[in-house]
Structures are given as C-alpha cells and as structure tokens.
Amino acid sequence: MGMPTVFISTYAKAPQNTPMYENNKQIGVMLEIQKQNHVVVNADATFITELAKDYLKRIVIGADFSKDISPLLKGIEKDFLIQSQGALIVALKVAHQKYHDNFLQKK
C-alpha cells in the first residue's frame, strides 16, 4: 500500500555573497503533497533560520499543485523579502513541474 502523500525535493542555486550561498551554495525545498487533492500538507527548506523555515511553511501549506502556482509565487515576491527569493521561486517552479511530470501525467 502506498503513501497518501508524495514527497518532492528540488534545489536552485543560491545568490552569491549571501549566507545561504556560503553555507550550502543552493536552496533546497522539500514538499509533502496530498495525492488525493494535490495540496501541500508540509514543507521545509534549507534556510539557515527556523523562522524562515516556519514562514515558508505558512505560505506554502495549502497550495494546490494541480493548478497554476502563480498566486503562490506572487505572494512570495510580495511578502517573503529575502536575498534568496529568486532561488526560492525557481525551486518551487521546479517542484511544481516535477509534481506534474511525475504524478499528474501518470494518472
């Protein structure tokens, strides 16, 4: 019996001259998505601080990955004002595409 969720991790290059670049060279985003309704139920990232990880969770949980995630990305652009914002957006776009390619396309 399979899991009711799917786990996806993606990475994007962090901007140079930032603590994230110095520590990891990249940002990692991990998402747990409910298979039945395609909604993100848990999230994590390779941010340095717990506050940033928690903030990402509160923004991403509830997003429907079967649909366009432009509203989610616009919310990040507006409210998640970090140096690695662009890398975060790239990682989420890759996660969205990976979900579509590996889960939705196989149905």
**Domains of the chain, first to last:** 5-106 (3.90.1010.10)
H/E segment holding residue 60: helix 50-60
pLDDT in the model for residue 22: 64
Q: How confident is the model at residue 48 (pLDDT cuts 50, 70, 90)?
A: confident
Q: Are 10 and 97 in contact (CB under 8 A)?
A: no
H/E segment holding residue 77: helix 70-79
Q: pLDDT digits over 5-41, tens only?
A: 999 999 998 767 766 656 667 889 999 999 999 999 9
Taking the model in full, what pTM does it have?
A: 0.90
